Structure 1
Amino acid sequence: MVGNHVRNTRGTLIKMFRRRIPTLVTVVLLLVVWEAWVRLAHVPATMIPSPSEIAQATVETWPTLWPATRITLLEGSVGFLLAVMLGILIGILLYCSRIANAALFPLLSAAQTMPLISIAPLFLIWFGFEISGKIVIVAIFGLFPIAVQTIRGLEAVPTFYSDVALTCGATRTWTLWHVKLRVAARQIYGGIRVSAAYIYATAATAEYLGARGGLGIWLQAAYNSFRTPLIFSATLVIIAITGILMCLVNLSERVLLGSTGSDDDPDAGQ
């Protein structure tokens, strides 16, 4: 049994690696073309730096880049966790109550249409330059896709799931938390992935508009000093930590819900 588990794990890892080969090849080719174009065309580093210049600048400034990254990581991660919890709870509330849906969903939608630059000054007035204000901004902008996908996922659950549970003596509350949410979990995770994709970018943008530290302040300082390689360094760090978060979200989905194939009906083909 242990041997089969090891073989299955090895086979899964090999399949994942094979799926990523085209992406890796494309990235390498783009970097090679980018490097060659900058060097052959003698493009100034203040306009477009080469990948090697960006890597060198990242290594040289890492002692100051990493503390800024930690601040953005803290703001984005805490804000993301709040967004997940509040998004799911709000989605459940709006699904269960038509009155709450009619009263709150338009306000929730309107909150997402406001540009960050228009509400950031308010949060500076309320929270100052502290981290707490950035966490609140991240949570507000991150919960909308989660709430929407929670509502849609619950509405898409076939009624026979509830009918079977209620027939077996389950309460509606138990059915909601143990049946409907489990069936809707894949779609809810879709909203979580959408939120995770821009959570750290939102935190950095909020910092850029007013903060004591973080990648947003780093970007602002790099822009003011016309150090273009450092702008790319901070951008790559944001992409990297976002990719790590996305991997953690996918891993948690696999641990909690299993592989996507585990949801298939084994009797569907019979």
Structure 2
Amino acid sequence: MDNSRRLERRQQLLDRIATATAVIILLVVWEAWVRLSHVPTSMFSSPTQIVQATIDAWPTLWPATQVTIIEGFVGFAFAVLCGVLIGIAFYCFRTLNAALYPLLYAAQTMPLITIAPLFLIWFGFEISGKIVITAFWGLFPIAVQTIRGLKAVPQFYSDVALTCGATPVWTLWHVKLRVAARQIFGGVRISAAYIFATATTAEYLGARKGLGIWLQAAYNSFRTPLIFSATIVIVLLTVLLMSIVNVCERVLLGPPENDENPDE
């Protein structure tokens, strides 16, 4: 057991070193190509130019980032709550599932640009509207994975719980949801992967402030390094949110290998 864990940790360390090395090589090649090719800054920017532009624009970039952080995190929280509850409702009520499940799938195919104008009419240009849009688009994968996860729970889990005197409601909340939790977290991770991109796009289509408006101003003024700056901020926020999701999963459910080897 100790040897296998030691080998696994060593492999994880090697994987991280390989990732860091690839990133460093990419940045060096990127910097060298821009400098040696004399590419205009308005067309493409080197990593050093992006860093310098980010530092110079930080007094305006950070306030815009704070707005998007609020929209992303609050919208994501609502997406998780509503997505799980909708998934449970669809699982428990067969008629509801038969009537609305195809619509739930179809709703995922709607482009944001086609429905965002309606949210602007309903909620205006305030932060609350962007939170609603973010939550609305983020709940679909969570709801679908909750339904699929609950349906995939083997029947014997329920049989054992009911035989021991548990009620169907208790069995749902304490047995089925626990068994389906890994798959539900898969949907949560999918939602987290594009939650800030959704918030930024919603701002870009219509808002008073936020990264989307900041990005639009950079585009209109052909300040290409700032476009990269906004992109990097969105990526970092997404990585932060996904890291939080992974930590929550590990704290609530334990390491994934424990599910595969429950007797160890």
State the alpha-carbon separation in 1 of the partners of residues 230 and 31 from structure 2: 19
State the alpha-carbon separation in 2 of the partners of residues 30 and 60 from structure 1: 24
State the alpha-carbon separation in 2 of the partners of residues 195 and 203 from structure 1: 12
* 1:254 corresponds to: 250
State the alpha-carbon separation in 2 of the partners of residues 241 and 211 from structure 1: 20
State the alpha-carbon separation in 2 of the partners of residues 176 and 208 from structure 1: 41
Amino acid at match of 1:207: E
Q: 1:42 aligns with which of 38, 44, 55?
A: 38
Q: 2:125 aligns with which of 122, 129, 138?
A: 129
- Residue 198 of structure 1: SS of its match in structure 2? helix
Amino acid at match of 1:36: A
Q: Does 1:190 align with 2:186?
A: yes
* 1:208 corresponds to: 204
Give 1:71-90 correspondences, 5 Å limit.
71-90=67-86
Compared with structure 1, are the counterparts of its residues 138 and 52 closer, same or farther at alpha carbon in structure 2 (3 Å cutoff)?
same
Amino acid at match of 1:59: I
Q: 1:161 aligns with which of 151, 157, 163?
A: 157
* 1:91 corresponds to: 87
State the alpha-carbon separation in 2 of the partners of residues 78 and 267 from structure 1: 39
Amino acid at match of 2:245: V
Gaps of at least 5 residues in structure 1 are 1-8
- Residue 49 of structure 1: SS of its match in structure 2? coil
Amino acid at match of 2:54: T
How far has the Cα of 1:103 moved from its partner? Answer: 1.8
Gaps of at least 5 residues in structure 2 are none
* 1:51 corresponds to: 47
RMSD: 1.8
How far has the Cα of 1:264 moved from its partner? Answer: 2.5
How far has the Cα of 1:140 moved from its partner? Answer: 0.8
State the alpha-carbon separation in 1 of the partners of residues 48 and 203 from structure 2: 28
Q: Does 1:143 align with 2:139?
A: yes
- Residue 209 of structure 2: SS of its match in structure 1? coil
Paired positions, count:
260
* 2:230 corresponds to: 234
How far has the Cα of 1:111 moved from its partner? Answer: 2.0
Compared with structure 1, are the counterparts of its residues 265 and 163 closer, same or farther at alpha carbon in structure 2 (3 Å cutoff)?
farther
How far has the Cα of 1:120 moved from its partner? Answer: 1.1
How far has the Cα of 1:112 moved from its partner? Answer: 1.8
1:62-106 superposed Cα distances (whole Å, 9 cap, x missing partner): 111000000000001111000000000000111111111122212
How far has the Cα of 1:267 moved from its partner? Answer: 5.1
State the alpha-carbon separation in 2 of the partners of residues 215 and 239 from structure 1: 12
User: Normalised by the size of structure 1, how large is the TM-score?
Assistant: 0.92
Amino acid at match of 1:47: M
State the alpha-carbon separation in 1 of the partners of residues 82 and 132 from structure 2: 12
* 1:103 corresponds to: 99
State the alpha-carbon separation in 2 of the partners of residues 18 and 62 from structure 1: 35
1:144-181 superposed Cα distances (whole Å, 9 cap, x missing partner): 10011101111111111111101100011100000000
- Residue 108 of structure 2: SS of its match in structure 1? helix
Amino acid at match of 1:112: Q
Identity %: 71
Which piece of structure 1 moves more, 237-246 or 106-115? 106-115
